[in-house]
């Protein structure tokens, strides 16, 4: 998103870090939080939600994007993802496709750690070059 104010990005990072603490990840113990900014300026959040039937687990990004859609958002302008520990995690393959579905040309994907100022900024084309689109 062009002209994303630094204060909005800070707020998204803070929000993703906070929602991460609500993750339900008793199996992997890898807690993930995501915050999405839509075209109306609304922030939607998600955290991963695992299941004892392992394939039913849901990623934080999927939950956040679903929440954006449920609250009336149409475009994911910015998504912030925070994993567990110092490593900056990037979305899994399925979530790259989910992000691409709801993204606009200049959607920004920020990967941040639990703490610290390090950020990896990616575009949809970075994470899903030549992606499938209907
Ligand atoms: N996970 C996410 O929520 N988002 C990602 O981008 C990568 C992985 C979750 C899935 C699972 O609950 C846990 O992290 C470990 O893979």
Tokens (6 digits) for 51: 């299941």
Hey, which residues are catalytic here? 61
What separation in Å is there between the alpha carbon of 98 and the centre of ligand 1?
Answer: 14
CATH class of domain segment(s) 6-127: alpha beta
Residue nearest to atom 2 of ligand 1 (CA): 59
What separation in Å is there between the alpha carbon of 30 and the centre of ligand 1?
Answer: 7
The binding-site residues of ligand 1, defined as CB within 6 angstroms of any ligand atom, are 25, 28, 30, 32, 48, 50, 57, 59-61, 81, 89, 91-92, 95
**Mean pLDDT of the residues in the chain:** 97
β pairing state of 103-112 and 76-82: parallel
Please tell me the distance from the alpha carbon of residue 74 to that of residue 34, in angstroms, as a whole number.
17
Residue nearest to atom 5 of ligand 1 (CA): 91
Burial class, 16, CB count within 10 angstroms (exposed 0-12 / middle 13-18 / buried 19+): buried
Confidence of residue 116 (pLDDT cuts 50, 70, 90): very high
Q: Summarize pLDDT for 44-77 with one digit per residue, the tens.
A: 999 999 999 999 999 999 999 999 999 999 999 9
Q: Summarize pLDDT for 1-13 with one digit per residue, the tens.
A: 779 999 999 999 9
What separation in Å is there between the alpha carbon of 61 and the centre of ligand 1?
Answer: 9
Q: What is the pTM of this model?
A: 0.97
């Amino acid at each position: 998103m062009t002209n994303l104010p630094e204060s909005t990005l800070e707020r998204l990072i803070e929000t993703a870090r906070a929602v991460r603490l609500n993750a339900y990840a008793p199996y992997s113990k890898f807690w993930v939080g995501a915050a999405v900014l839509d075209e109306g300026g609304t922030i939607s959040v998600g955290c991963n939600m695992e299941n004892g039937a392992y394939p039913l687990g849901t990623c934080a990004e999927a939950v956040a994007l679903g929440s954006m859609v449920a609250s009336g958002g149409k475009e994911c302008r910015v998504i912030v993802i925070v994993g567990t520990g110092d490593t900056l995690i990037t979305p899994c393959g399925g979530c790259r496709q989910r992000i691409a579905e709801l993204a606009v040309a200049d959607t920004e994907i920020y990967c941040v750690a639990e703490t610290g100022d390090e950020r990896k900024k990616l575009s949809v084309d970075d994470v899903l070059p030549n992606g499938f689109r209907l």
